[in-house]
Amino acid sequence: MSDIALQMDHVYKKFRKGEIFDSLRDLIPALSGRIFRQQEISGNDSREFWALYDVSFEVRRGEAFGIVGHNGAGKSTALKILSRIMKPTKGQMIVNGRLSALIEVTAGFHQDLTGRENIFLNGTILGMSKREIASKLDQIIAFSGLESFIDTPVKRYSSGMYARLGFSVAAHVDPEVLIVDEVLSVGDYVFQQRCMERMRSVINSGTTVLFVSHNLKAVTELCQRAMLLDHGKAVMIGPTDSVVRRYLNDALKPNVEENKALYISAVRVRDRSGEQSKFESGQTAWVDVEVTALQPVESLAIVLWFADETQYIIFDTSTERLGRTPFSLQAGESYRSTFELSLNMAHGTFHVCAAVYRYDVQKEYDRKAPAATVFVGSNMAVRGAVNCFPKIVEAGNIVPDHSYECKV
Amino acid sequence: MKEELQELYKYRELLFMIAYRDIKVRYKQSVMGFMWAILMPIIIVSAGVVVRYAYALSAHKPLDVADIASVAVKSIPWAFLVSSLRFGCNSLILSNKDLVTKIYFPKEIFPLAAVLSSFFDFLVASIALSLFLLGIHVGASAALIWVPLLLMVMIVMIAGVNMVAAAASLFFRDVKYIVEVMLTFGIFFTPVFYDSSMLGDKGKWLMLNPVSPLLEGLSDCVVRHQAPNLVWLAYSCVFAFVVCTGGYIFFKYLEPAFAESI
């Protein structure tokens, strides 16, 4: 058996932007026109674009491999080619072993059938045999947590229940190679945790996993190696940490618009020795925010906030609220303000975001969200969003004090 | 080709599952379901009886029980053909669009499942038809052994046409209107309401329609208790084989482009 589970070898995929003919009514006149006038229809290259351009990578057996990239970078196309829904325009790909794709887990559902019937239907679509589904039926229902609704037609389900049932079926396929596209974002928090748990155990059991997500935390947690796609090209392949950092840096390139009165020209995160992105929980960090004006503007304040991977704002401050008087700038002038902060977050990835705001007229001039990313590490036994620096100051057996127990 | 057929065999459970789903969904609204299976054939048979009655009047002949039986025996397979093609045309673009673009498996399952689920309706209607034939004392004979073969040839033929129609309507959205027109007027070019013998010598031109020998054959062995015309039956068999093989190759050739063209 070969050591490679998945391989793409110089894969190209070309798409046409507009559909030229999708009815015979249009096609026949066009064809006859071409015959009489000797026109070329294929010469029009501007309609074509490469969704994947010379992409090569390989995933070893038992490895978890991530693909990151902005919307339209070609991630889904790559997955569709690997799962054989589409054929590459050029190039080869190899899949060793039974492959299952969690691309659209509810695609096989039929509205009028009950949850139970849909488990069988969707399971068969995903490649399970009827006997296999029957043997796992109880497990699937239990995983979905929909025991009491399982004989209700799925059209009466909420969208969350719908997606949960879909994932529950898909999670029990037991493939040798699993392709996952953004399905972990379904359901409530508890269900998402259950999905992550399931993904971990799938990976630990030796299944090869190809994982695509915008949830960078999940990618970093689950995958050892990753690939960064940008406009169809594989920009970087390597350890997930560095690929994710590169992706974030690329995404944050300055982007100056002509019509802006001012823009945020730099946001730097430093520790005592210089620019830094890795911090220990509780460490002090300095954040420089630099603003450059293109037109004269007055009474400005700088707003600084931190968001977690889900874009939830965990901290927010501003020069105004910190007691600084608003500043004004002439065209061409720059302004810098440095914030000193102690990073009392628990372990995680956090986005540093900044905006320039004028409080009296409530106008935002520019915003960078995120402007930088910090990774906060902690070796302390804490979980959650913040680090309250817990210590045990006293512990031991006690004699319970019953004096304030309720009397019946 | 061999690999593709093996894969189709591997996914046979899915084929039945999809057909079962279509049947279940159709019969879940039980009124509508039985309307499909019973009411449609009843309407077609009644139309045929009216036409037959008009012929009999203008020819100054009495309307035979056997004639009515023959119309009924031919109408119900025709209704099967119409419903298969109608569902088949939409099988990739309407009912299963998500599955075509999102999940990999042999897509010919959809047009084939459309044939299977329509065949189920046909069986339900056939039970009603058998009772009707018993009621008008048509009787049985050894010639009935031809029925399974005739139906099989018909299924193979419809499956082939369905694969072509389904794939073509994915690329060209007006194909289903063309199919609809052909189905509407096809009944005049097929001996459903009348017999090819009624056209005299020119009847053989009608038999060139590959469905005709099958319908006439069914009428021969069920109503007239005689073997079908073997030459014409062979013609239909060859046609069915060619259209099914050709349709499958055509479908498989286009299949890789489905997901991005839909």
Q: Quick: pLDDT tens for A387-403.
A: 888 888 888 888 877 66
**Where in chain A are the domains?**
4-248, 257-377
Q: Note the pLDDT of residue A275.
A: 83
Token readout for B123 is: 């069986």
Cα–Cα distance, B18 to A107 (Å, whole number): 13
Residue type, A66: G
B182: chain A residues, CB-CB within 8 Å: none
pLDDT digits (tens, 9 = 90+) for B136-180: 888 888 889 999 999 999 999 999 999 999 999 998 888 989 999
Q: How confident is the model at residue A295 (pLDDT cuts 50, 70, 90)?
A: confident
B19 band by pLDDT with thresholds 50, 70 and 90: very high
A152, A115 Cβ separation under 8 angstroms: yes
Q: Is the pLDDT of residue A197 over 90?
A: no
ipTM score of the complex? 0.85
Compute the mean pLDDT over every residue in chain A, rounded to the nearest whole number: 83
Number of other residues whose CB lies within 10 A of the CB of residue A358: 16
Tell me if residue B171 falls in helix, strand or coil.
Answer: helix
Q: How far is A294 from chain B (nearest CA, A)?
A: 46
- Give the pLDDT of residue A39: 47
Residue A326: other Cβ atoms inside 10 A: 15
Inter-chain touch A85–B101, beta carbons under 8 Å: yes
Of A167-176, A213-222, A393-402, B119-128, where does the model show the most confidence?
B119-128
Asked if A103's CB is within 8 angstroms of B102's CB, the reply is yes
Q: Is the pLDDT of residue A404 over 70?
A: no
CA dihedral in degrees (B197, B200, B206, B207; nearest 10)?
60
Instruction: Give the pLDDT confidence score for residue A37 in this predicted structure.
Output: 57
Q: Are strands A334-342 and A284-293 parallel, antiparallel or unpaired?
A: antiparallel
Instruction: Please give the CATH topology (third level) of the domain spanning A4-248.
Output: Rossmann fold (3.40.50)
Beta-bridge partners for A226: A66, A238
Phi, psi of B35 (to 5 degrees): -60, -45
Check: CB of residue A140 under 8 Å from CB of residue A179: no
The first and second tokens of residue A197, run together, are 């748990």
Nearest neighbour of B103 by CB, restricted to A22, A86, A107: A107
- Which residue pairs from A267-271 have beta carbons closer than 8 angstroms and sit at least 24 positions apart in sequence? A267/A352, A267/A354, A267/A368, A267/A371, A267/A372, A268/A372, A269/A352, A269/A372, A269/A374
pLDDT (0 to 100) of residue A407 = 56
DSSP letters for A162-189: HHHHHHHHHTT---SEEEEES-TT-S-H
The pTM score is 0.75
Identify the pLDDT of residue A398. 86
| Predicted pLDDT at A106 | 79
List the 111-130 stretch of A: residues with Cβ below 8 A of B. 112-113, 117, 120-121, 124-127, 129-130
A179 interfacial to chain B (CB closer than 8 Å): no
CA distance B110 to A12: 29
pLDDT at residue A43 tops 50: no
Query: How far is the C-alpha of A407 from the C-alpha of B32, rounded, in Å?
Result: 67
Q: Do the Cβ atoms of B79 and B119 come closer than 8 Å?
A: no
Q: Report the topology of domain A257-377.
A: Coagulation Factor XIII; Chain A, domain 1 (2.70.50)
Residue extents of the structural domains in chain B: 2-261
Distance of CA A223 to the CA centre of its chain: 13
Q: What does the alpha-carbon distance between residue A296 and residue B66 come to, in Å, rounded to a whole number? A: 98
Buried b or exposed e, range A137-173, using 16+ CB within 10 angstroms: beebbebbbbeebbeebbeebeeebbbbbbbbbbbbb
Count A/B contacts: CB-CB distance under 8 Å. Answer: 69
Task: Find chain A residues with C-beta within 8 A of B98's C-beta.
Answer: 104, 107-108
Between CA B237 and CA B160 the distance in angstroms is: 12
